[in-house]
Chains A and B, each alone.
Chain A
Amino acid sequence: MGEVSHKSVKPLQVNPFKLSQPMGATLAFLGVDGCMPLMHGGQGCTSFTKVFYTRHFCEPIAIQTTAVTDAIAVLDGGDYSIVESVKNICKKVSPSLIGLHTTGLPETKGDDIGGVSSQVDYPLVYVNTPDYEGGLESGWALTCKAIIEQLVEPSEAVNDNKLVLLPHVSLQPIEVEKIKQFIEGFGFNVLALPDLSTSLDGHLGDKQASLSSGGISVEEIKMLGDAGLVISVGDSMQTSAAALLKNNPAMRHRHFAHLHGLEATDALAELLLAETGFSAPPIPVARWRQRLQDAMLDSHFSLGQTRFLVVAEPDQIAGICQSLYDAGGQVTVAIPTVDSPQLEKIRAEKVLVGDLEDAEHLADDYDLIVGNFHCEALAHRLDKGLVLRGFPNWEQVGNPLKNDVLYEGGAYFLFECANAATALRAHLAAG
């Protein structure tokens, strides 16, 4: 692993790709079936977030705002805004859960949302997610933890067949589904928290939903306490796993920093084999492993001569960099949005928390960028290749179905990167 810089020294962010905690919280609540995320703050935070995800997923996004105004900010400790909001939401729809999360505004004035929530006579989970701390990943993780702490009922029974998957924020809906299916192939009953794979996977339903239209149900969440095994994916999810384990001393936990690439998937398969006592995985799993090995060999020539810049949330960077590294790709620069324990583990020559201006300054160090929509202008200006990953991607359709994980997704991902790198070289050679 290379040189790591945990903090930017600049007084500002220039061309940021960092996203905020409340935005991560919203997304986590959208992985709960029939939920209405309620963002506590000015109406703009909610409006921005709604548009942001609508454009990324090409799906309607359920969310409401407590619509704090300057006048209310001075007079109200959140009681009025929150209680009124719940009342008004319930006039129109009947959510299974209200997902209350804060922004910088109420946190600055010190609203006691825990106190207010106890006055609300409706199923509600609250979480403090000021946008002047953390980022997308921590907002998602804090919310997952809050859901666990406030909803899961303690248990002493253990259902060895029941497995809880805690995925990090950057896993797209299809990736969560693929991981669930992989584990289900070994005979487990898998519940993901949060579960975007059935809510924001871009399915055409019967009608327009005004609440999240899929995800794990509140009832299922309450009953997670008897699961025999918990699998967390992404270092940001460790605290959620710890919170879940508190509900049942017999529950066991296994953590994966990511599930990208051959070795991580091997480790998951090994675990599941050991748990089940099976001697071999389901046939398609073995087949996909062979395809990934072949994909690594087929793509190694192109990837081996390509230098990469990867910008993303820390948990996603860790996985992407490992995938590329395994097939010979040289990740010269990795720029995570925020600090994380993952940083030391990232397979890159240089890791620095920063922004896209930093990426621009290091332009001589890489040929191809793996990053979000904001990297497009950068790639264009600097004549770099681009593989779009991460939030947001407003440029392309089909984001919820992009799969980079496990044997199968890993193969597709390497092909996409190798082809992009080859196309780039052809483009540059043509002048």
Chain B
Amino acid sequence: MHPRLRPILDSFQGKPEELIPILQRVQGAFGYLPAEVLADVSRFARVPESSVYGVATFYDQFRFTPIGRRHILVCRGTSCHVRGAADVLRAIEDHLGIKEGQTTPDLAYSLETAPCLGACARSPCMMVNRKVEAGVTPASVRALLRKANGHGAEPR
């Protein structure tokens, strides 16, 4: 068993309904769900490995590949859409040289979209790691990306 998996599993009882919280903790520790630990998760939670994959592929939160240090989510909600979210997404894609759903080769950035980030009155908005940025424009996101340059802004 992976040495970092043991302490995670120790805080659970090994019941099938714990599968999602376990996967959340695993992803929190590893940044993604490494295939080599899922077999152990399956045995521990007494859930067939196929079901572990079934659950892990069902929810947006889970991923099977490492994620960039800065995870950008661009909102695709109605309010954001009518106020230029597509232009913002395109500006980020052009700036980082990746498309929606991709990660830069140096693992600095991952770029995804979300159905709604919940700051609709100040649209368009996006989320970088845990921080929502509202009222963004193509110019402001380019400035933000230049300024950030790989350093994560930790929320309070």
* Chain B binds chain A: no
Chain A residues within CB distance 8 Å of chain B:
none
